[in-house]
């Protein structure tokens, strides 16, 4: 799972104050809990240069690898780091790349995707618009080919990955804009995201700009 620094994550999400950072952190926390609850997932790796991101790992399971700081394409470089780790340490095991902005993804939905993906050398889940990619899988890390970014669904198909078009909505709905946030909230999100969205709505209704203290709670990681 590649995770950007909170201060630069979700730059297209037009919300005020510290809400964007807190939402990005909440998405990642809920998604890691989902991954940890998925029986098909035996191990997970975060790639990030965000400080103290390791405390998001449920039960301390998994690894944190450092994201390249000066990469031209930060997402691609972060994925390369994670895939490279898997090729060295788990070369014969299946792998799934999980973006950190799928807060409506559930463990059963992830399980369903991985069961379907296990029938194909490479597979991917198109996003809700059909243009981008959310999850990307390979039966072995050495055969994973990735090309995230605008239009990635078409590129992944050209690279030989099979599209899993019947994945649950939560597996397809990533969050880049406020409209995406509304749609994903309607699907149902994890507790961290639900709390952050609630605080954002409270701030909007009151007419006050959200502050960091508005999100201070034991329900959210530090």
Instruction: Tell me if 219 is assigned to some domain.
Output: no
Q: Starting from the edge strand earliest in sequence, which strands make up the sheet with 122-126, in order? A: 95-97, 133-138, 122-126, 162-163
pLDDT in tens, 142-165: 999 999 999 999 999 999 999 999
Supply the range of the domain harboring residue 65: 19-208
- Per mean pLDDT, which range of 79-93, 118-132, 141-155, 191-205 is the poorest? 191-205
Question: Distance between CA 38 and CA 5 in Å, rounded?
Answer: 25
Q: How confident is the model at residue 209 (pLDDT cuts 50, 70, 90)?
A: low
CA 2 to chain centre: 7
Give the residue, 71 or 220, on which the prediction is more confident: 71
Instruction: Tell me if 145 is assigned to some domain.
Output: yes
Q: How confident is the model at residue 215 (pLDDT cuts 50, 70, 90)?
A: very low
Question: Distance between CA 102 and CA 5 in Å, rounded?
Answer: 17
What percent of the chain shows pLDDT beyond 70? 89
Instruction: Tell me if 2 is assigned to some domain.
Output: no
* CATH of residue 117: 3.90.550.10
Instruction: Tell me if 1 is assigned to some domain.
Output: no
Q: How many domains is the chain partitioned into structurally?
A: 1
Rounded to 10 degrees, what is the CA torsion of 26, 30, 32, 37? 170
């Amino acid at each position: 799972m590649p995770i950007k620094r909170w201060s630069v994550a979700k730059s297209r999400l037009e919300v005020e104050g510290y809400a964007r950072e807190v939402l990005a952190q909440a998405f990642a926390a809920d998604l890691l809990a989902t991954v940890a609850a998925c029986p098909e997932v035996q191990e997970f790796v975060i790639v990030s240069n965000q400080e103290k991101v390791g405390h998001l790992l449920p039960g301390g399971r998994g690894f944190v690898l450092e994201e390249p700081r000066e990469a031209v394409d930060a997402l691609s470089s972060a994925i390369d780091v994670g895939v490279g780790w898997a090729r060295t340490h788990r070369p014969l095991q299946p792998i799934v790349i999980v973006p950190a902005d799928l807060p409506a993804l559930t463990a059963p939905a992830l399980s369903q995707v991985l069961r379907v993906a296990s029938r194909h050398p490479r597979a991917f889940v198109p996003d809700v618009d059909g243009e981008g990619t959310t999850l990307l899988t390979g039966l072995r890390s050495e055969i994973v080919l990735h090309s995230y970014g605008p239009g990635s669904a078409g590129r992944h198909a050209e690279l030989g990955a099979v599209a899993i078009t019947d994945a649950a909505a939560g597996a397809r709905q990533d969050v880049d804009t406020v409209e995406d946030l509304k749609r994903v909230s309607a699907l149902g999100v994890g507790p961290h995201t639900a709390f952050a969205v609630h605080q954002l709505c409270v701030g909007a209704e009151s007419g006050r700009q959200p502050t960091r203290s508005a999100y201070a709670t034991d329900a959210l990681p530090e």
